[in-house]
Amino acid sequence: MTKRDQLLVFIVTIGVFGIINTEMGVIGILPSIADHFQVSVSKAGLLVSLFALAVAVSGPTMPLLFSGVDRKKMMLLVLGIFVIGNMVSLLTTNFIIALIARVVPAFFHPIYCSLAFTVAADSVSEEEAPKAVAKVFIGVSAGMVIGVPIVSFLDSAVSFEMAMAFFAIVNVLVFFATVVFVPSMPVKERISYGTQLSVLKKLIPWLSIVAVILLNSAVFGVYSYLAEYLKTVTNMSPNATSLFLFIYGGANIIGNIAAGKLLTKNALKTVVIFPFALGVIYTILYLFGQLTFPMAIITLIWGILAGIGANINQYWIMSSAPEAPIFANGLFLTSANLGTMFGAAIGGIFIAKLGTPYVVLVGFISLLLSVVFILLRNYLSCTKNKSSCMLNWNRK
């Protein structure tokens, strides 16, 4: 990879970090958002759930709709929309306006993420493409888990306004870097709809989609309120909360690394065992979440499992529709964000009705239902093709 290619991949990686962090970063400052706008924490959670809903709706369609437009122009358009949305969210004192300022950019979120992977792969030789794409995945992971504690730290150590400004600063820097260093990239051929849409005629992709929605709901339904949990149940200071969010984020990246090896060795065992492993962690969280040291261990293991879960979600949908990888990626993005939306929304209801400790219920319920759909898909796969039955636990 040339230095020019490395710079291009670096720019889109930071761009993905900025886009994903805009979505997930508010998780670490939900209590502060609630105080700033004078709303409940559960209502502040709409900034997470409605953003996820917008991404879920636009996930399969927006990248294809704009697939014929010059990639640089689309990247600049999306980044510009995010900068404006970030600035409005920072300056407004009205919660509804802040909500709108986040939801509108969310519809363009899938465009940039799809373009980032495509641009990274196209910037290098075919042999180097997986390495380039893997670097962009660092931006995805960092945006989801590292950005949260960064924003939480800025909120507690500097100010709420600085935490909110962080989203805009990253996107502004990437916008100007794209203007200066990214060349014009006209699209040479358009993506066909027919073959990709045909996967929705099959049952296995639908079972996979529901399973992924539930798995992501199990993770983010609880994680969305981790800052609130640490504040009200574990009785931690803002600085300690930021530290624990960093622990979760670092552990998540470890989980991403481990997931590749686990899925390669035996994908089925990894997928089936995951809900039970996370269920055990949630049980321990419910029983000992008020104690600081056990909470540190819980957060570490929980973060590792969440990183593994993210990879499982992508694998589960991609493997259900290998003939349409582009559309399958869109379905994955939609399913994951629907899971985030439902999990955050239901978690907010449990907190409002029962109290913060009971947010783990959304995790338990989602995990239980996910197992049903995972096993249904496996059963259908075995019925159709016994020679490649996924229930062969010894198969690698």
Q: Which stretches of 80-229 are assigned E, i.e. beta strand?
A: none
Query: Which of 191, 220, 254 is the last residue before a domain boundary?
Result: 191
User: Which SS3 state, helix, strand or coil, does residue 202 take?
Assistant: coil
- The predicted pLDDT at position 63 comes to 75
- The predicted pLDDT at position 130 comes to 47
> How many beta carbons lie within 10 A of that of residue 112, not counting itself?
27
- The predicted pLDDT at position 100 comes to 94
Residue 132 φ then ψ, to 5°: -65, -45
Q: What angle do CA 85, 6, 142 make, to 5 degrees?
A: 45
Torsion of CA 144, 310, 136, 155, to 10 degrees: 10
The pair of three-digit structure tokens given for residue 393, joined into one six-digit string: 């636990």
Q: Residues of the chain whose pLDDT is less than 70?
A: 1-2, 121, 124-135, 137-138, 144-145, 187-193, 325-326, 384-396
Whether residues 135 and 200 fall in one domain: no
- The predicted pLDDT at position 363 comes to 95
* Residue burial 232-260, b: 16+ Cβ < 10 Å; e: rest: bbbebebebbbbbbbbbbbbbbebbebbe
Question: What does R_g of the chain's alpha carbons equal in angstroms?
Answer: 20
- The predicted pLDDT at position 114 comes to 76
Whether residues 241 and 182 fall in one domain: no
> How many beta carbons lie within 10 A of that of residue 66, not counting itself?
20
Whether residues 182 and 246 fall in one domain: no
- The predicted pLDDT at position 126 comes to 57
Helices vs. strands in the chain: H and E counts, helices first: 18, 0
- The predicted pLDDT at position 393 comes to 47
By C-alpha distance, which of 61, 107, 337, 106 is closest to 200? 61
Query: Which of 191, 217, 240 is the last residue before a domain boundary?
Result: 191
- The predicted pLDDT at position 257 comes to 76
Place of tokens 């993506």: 191
Query: Which of 128, 159, 191 is the last residue before a domain boundary?
Result: 191
Whether residues 19 and 157 fall in one domain: yes
The pair of three-digit structure tokens given for residue 125, joined into one six-digit string: 């030789």
231 contacts: CB under 8 Å, gap ≥ 6? 31, 238, 241
Whether residues 183 and 209 fall in one domain: no
Classify the phi-psi angles of 355: left when phi > 0, otherwise alpha if psi is within -120 to 50, otherwise beta: left
220, exposed or middle or buried, with CB in 10 Å at 0-12, 13-18, 19+? buried
Whether residues 105 and 123 fall in one domain: yes
How many independent structural domains does the chain possess?
2
The pair of three-digit structure tokens given for residue 157, joined into one six-digit string: 């150590």
Whether residues 84 and 35 fall in one domain: yes
Instruction: Give the pLDDT confidence of 314-324 residue by residue, as tens digits.
Output: 788 878 887 77
By C-alpha distance, which of 212, 209, 230 is closest to 359? 230
Whether residues 116 and 260 fall in one domain: no
Whether residues 168 and 209 fall in one domain: no
- The predicted pLDDT at position 129 comes to 55
Place of tokens 């993770």: 219
Whether residues 237 and 175 fall in one domain: no
- The predicted pLDDT at position 139 comes to 75
**Domain range for residue 253?**
194-396
CB 344 within 8 A of CB 52: yes
> How many beta carbons lie within 10 A of that of residue 100, not counting itself?
15
Whether residues 222 and 344 fall in one domain: yes
- The predicted pLDDT at position 128 comes to 59
Q: What is the CATH number of the domain that holds 271?
A: 1.20.1250.20
Instruction: Give the pLDDT confidence of 276-305 residue by residue, as tens digits.
Output: 999 999 999 999 989 999 999 999 999 999
- The predicted pLDDT at position 121 comes to 65
| DSSP summary character for residue 40 | -
Whether residues 265 and 374 fall in one domain: yes
